[in-house]
Amino acid sequence: MAKKKDVKVNINYDFCKKCEICVRICPTNVFALRSDGYPEVVHEEECIDCGLCQTHCPDFAVWIQHNEEEIEHPMWDYLRRENQPSVWCPGCGIGIIFQSLLRQIKVQGIPKDKIAFVSGIGCTGRMPGYADFNTIHTTHGRALAFATGIKLANPELKVIAVLGDGDGLAIGGNHLIHAARRNIDITAILVNNFNYGMTGGQVSPTTPEDSYTTTSPYGQLEPFFDTAKLAIGAGANFVGRATTYHVPIMDKLIKEALSTKGFSLVEVLSHCPTYYGRLNHIPSPFDMLNWQKKMVTRKDEEGKYKIGVLHKGDRVSLTERIEELKKRAKNGK
Amino acid sequence: MKIELYQGNEAVAYGALRAGVSFYGGYPITPSSEIAEIMARELPKRDGVFIQMEDEISSLAACIGARIAGRKSMTATSGPGFSLMQEHVGYAAMAEVPVVIVDAMRGGPSTGLPTRTSQGDIMQARWGTHGDHAVVALMPSTVEEAFYLTIDAVNISERLRLPAVVLTDEILSHMREKVVVDREVEIWEREPEIKKGERYFPFDDDNVYGTGIIPFGKGQRYHITGLVHRKDGFPSNDPEVAKKNLDRFKKKIEDNIDLLTDIEFYNTDDAEVLYVGVGTAARAVKEVVDVLRKRGIKIGLFRPKIVWPFPGHELKKFDGKVSHVIVPELNQGQLVQEVERHFKTSMVSRLNRYDGELFTFDELLNGTLNIIKS
């Protein structure tokens, strides 16, 4: 492969957590690992500007610079930088999803003041704290209930909710199906890392059968929820699934979700190297990305997660219906 | 003068509308459901929003969300729903978001006596959610009071940025009385003014109360969390920050105790025997006071309309001045525990009924005479 462009590869060592994803994901070995565990750019001339290191860095630490203006990470202006580095473990998939979301917000040019970014509790729940929007970290499982109030009170706000798998499907399962049923204008991103990370890797409603967590030490006995089917069945207008490996698909889905009227849900299969990975013998973040490749399909294959756009509906959103109702009520109808 | 014949639940709903409530998120429950029904009908006409949520947990969550997005919000429920809401009573207290919760009390615990009355949630209103927190609870005794105390609840919650609870009960919810609806009221509305280039610190000590909050979407991109947080809203584990955070809640009550003191003193000036009664339980008490006064017994009623914070600073002035303090309650004795600690010399006794019915006149009269005689 030939070098495409004259680019500079940057590493922000204040943000880097030594997860090694950039070193291992780079197809042309631009990076090497230093003895202190940090990555180092050793063969910049080999860079083909594929962007994998940048999009898969969970900590906004690596970016490819194309001109003199790009002296900071492209998402720099969207971060509350004083709160970095984040609480997430080195190599955690949440940061990759976070970056994808910010990228799509930037691409669509949604003003920061107009975004209400809502989360529940858990590792994923910490995401809004790092984003320079109107942000609220609510209670466990209830992000969509708060988001519903926010959207109804001020329909001009672009309301985005991030949910974890335990957060969105166990304790918050009721709110998820009702938000989908109402078809309210909210974009929900469900980060499914197959376990409860924040509390120490316990079993969740999405833990695959027979896999290990700290509360399924003999393997999970229960079947797992198919998040997408649940949301489709409940009435969501847009449902898609990606993984932290398949960033271009995730980008596309989030972009489409953000421009959907009505309820949109993007499930992202994520990786938790600290618990799920370690307990199931895939401990390195990079190995977990590869593991995801094998788990998914773009067709209908038994035993695999289907990724891509899974559903598009055209039901009128609740937000539109309420505005119409106000007009009727004022005219006494 | 404009007079309406309102049911208690109607008075609460129309009081809330008068106070500027424009968002209601709720879940049906006896005996509060009429409040939701009225709000569902009235709010859309007034550019407001009504939503029936999937449970009480999400109802209060939606209200808090709506308040953050700029609308004064209210929900109404009864004991079982109030239990579910406790999660977000704590959140509203921690995140300092104004919100009003009406709890039309019914017999408990659990499903209890859905269509009968009770005052069993007095302690739950104060300590229902975990952790030290600021909360205000108001207890109307008449339908007209239900109207005006709901307005007060909205004003107080907005002004102090905390959850305010209106404790009614099944009897008050469903009884009809005359309400003079056009008394002058002040509606508290304020938003902090931030100079250009200055940063908004929603949890700064200059912003504990009396400033209001800037809603989402107005250019101040701040953070809200239920975690212990710094003045900018971001979480912290620092013990100093944690203490400061909790001190704010205490301070907003202590510094505003005058605003939060609302008591009816009924024949208390020369009283030798003092009732401490609240809500509907205090209604029959007044009648007993009148009858016993005619018999020459110097008796009076101390009736807090705001029960939390409990006006101990006013009540303890009666210590030693009265021989007996009697606390009639429609529960097994909740408020009495608070009353007792404000008396060192006067004897505190209790009168309780908890079968779903109100006190009868005879029951109160005889109970009182027995206590005085002993």
* Architecture of the domain spanning B263-373: 3-Layer(aba) Sandwich (3.40)
Q: How high is the pLDDT of residue A134?
A: 98
In tens, the pLDDT along A121-168 reads 999 999 999 999 999 999 999 999 999 999 999 999 999 999 999 999
> Which residues in chain B have Cβ-Cβ distances shorter than 8 Å to A157?
69, 216-217
Q: Which helix (H) or strand (E) holds B85?
A: helix B79-95
A2 and chain B in contact, CB less than 8 A: no
Q: Which two tokens stand for residue A172?
A: 């918050």
Residue B106 has pLDDT above 70, yes or no: yes
Contact A276/A258 with Cβ under 8 angstroms? Answer: no
Mean pLDDT, rounded, of chain B: 97
Is there a contact between A174 and B55 if contact means CB atoms under 8 Å apart?
A: yes
Contact A62/A9 with Cβ under 8 angstroms? Answer: yes
> Which residues in chain A have Cβ-Cβ distances shorter than 8 Å to B163?
none
In tens, the pLDDT along B231-272 reads 999 999 999 999 999 999 999 999 999 999 999 999 999 999
CATH topology of domain A8-74: Alpha-Beta Plaits (3.30.70)
* Closest to B150 in 3D by CA, of B54, B32, B247: B32
Q: How high is the pLDDT of residue B209?
A: 87
Q: How high is the pLDDT of residue A218?
A: 97
Domain pair B1-260 / B263-373, same fold: yes
Dihedral of CA A62/A63/A65/A69: which sign? negative
* Closest to B148 in 3D by CA, of B127, B105, B118, B177: B177
Report d(CA A162, CA A121) in Å as an integer.
10
> Which residues in chain A have Cβ-Cβ distances shorter than 8 Å to B230?
none
DSSP symbols for A273-296: IIIIIHHTT--SHHHHHHHHHHHE
Q: How high is the pLDDT of residue B196?
A: 86
In tens, the pLDDT along B347-359 reads 999 999 999 999 9
Domain assignments of chain A as residue spans, ordered by start: 8-74, 89-319
Residue A1 has pLDDT above 80, yes or no: no
Is there a contact between B61 and A149 if contact means CB atoms under 8 Å apart?
A: yes
Higher pLDDT, A331 or A41: A41
Among left, alpha and beta (phi > 0; psi -120 to 50; other), residue B151 is alpha
pLDDT more than 70, % of chain A: 98
Q: How high is the pLDDT of residue A5?
A: 64
| pLDDT band per the 50, 70, 90 thresholds, residue B208 | confident
pLDDT more than 90, % of chain A: 94
CATH superfamily of B1-260: Thiamin diphosphate (ThDP)-binding fold, Pyr/PP domains (3.40.50.970)
The residue of B64, B203, B214, B216 whose CB has the most chain A CBs within 10 angstroms, and thus the best one to mutate to test that interface, is: B216
| Most distant CA atoms of chain A, gap in Å | 75
Cα dihedral: B365, B349, B306, B34 (round 10) = -60
A175 and chain B in contact, CB less than 8 A: yes
Q: How high is the pLDDT of residue B98?
A: 98
Amino acid at B106: R
Rounded to a whole number of angstroms, the distance from the CA of A310 to the nearest CA of chain B is 26
Q: How high is the pLDDT of residue B83?
A: 98
Report d(CA A66, CA A47) in Å as an integer.
12
Q: How high is the pLDDT of residue A3?
A: 54
In tens, the pLDDT along A9-39 reads 999 999 999 999 999 999 999 999 999 999 9
Question: How does B40-73 read in b/e, with b if 16+ C-beta sit within 10 Å?
Answer: eebbbeeebbbbebbbbbbbbbbbbbbbbbbbbb
Residue A296 has pLDDT above 60, yes or no: yes
Within 8 A by CB and 6+ apart from B97, the residues are: B64, B67, B68, B91, B161, B213, B224
> Which residues in chain B have Cβ-Cβ distances shorter than 8 Å to A329?
44-45
SS percent in chain A: helix, strand, coil, step 5: 35, 20, 45
| pLDDT band per the 50, 70, 90 thresholds, residue B50 | very high
A142 and chain B in contact, CB less than 8 A: yes
CATH superfamily of A89-319: Thiamin diphosphate (ThDP)-binding fold, Pyr/PP domains (3.40.50.970)
Which DSSP state fits A308?
E
| Most distant CA atoms of chain B, gap in Å | 71
B313 and chain A in contact, CB less than 8 A: no
Of the candidates B23, B61, B223, which has its C-beta nearest A146's C-beta? B61
A156 and chain B in contact, CB less than 8 A: yes
Residue B124 has pLDDT above 70, yes or no: yes
On whether the pTM is more than 0.90, the answer is: yes
| pLDDT band per the 50, 70, 90 thresholds, residue A172 | very high
B117 and chain A in contact, CB less than 8 A: no
| Segment A162-181 mean pLDDT | 98
| Segment A193-201 mean pLDDT | 96
Is there a contact between B51 and A152 if contact means CB atoms under 8 Å apart?
A: yes
Q: How high is the pLDDT of residue B207?
A: 80
A326 and chain B in contact, CB less than 8 A: yes
Domain assignments of chain B as residue spans, ordered by start: 1-260, 263-373
Residue A2 has pLDDT above 60, yes or no: no
Q: How high is the pLDDT of residue A174?
A: 98
B226 → chain A, closest CA residue? A138
A212 and chain B in contact, CB less than 8 A: no
Residue A4 has pLDDT above 70, yes or no: no
Residue A284 has pLDDT above 60, yes or no: yes
| pLDDT band per the 50, 70, 90 thresholds, residue A6 | confident
Q: What is the 3-state secondary structure (H, E, C) of B158-209?
A: HHHCCEEEEEEEHHHHHCEEEEECCCCCCCCCCCCCCCCCCCCCCCCHHHCC
Within 10 A of B194 (CB to CB), how many other CB atoms are there?
Answer: 14
Rounded to a whole number of angstroms, the distance from the CA of A67 to the nearest CA of chain B is 30
Contact B333/B151 with Cβ under 8 angstroms? Answer: no
pLDDT more than 70, % of chain B: 100
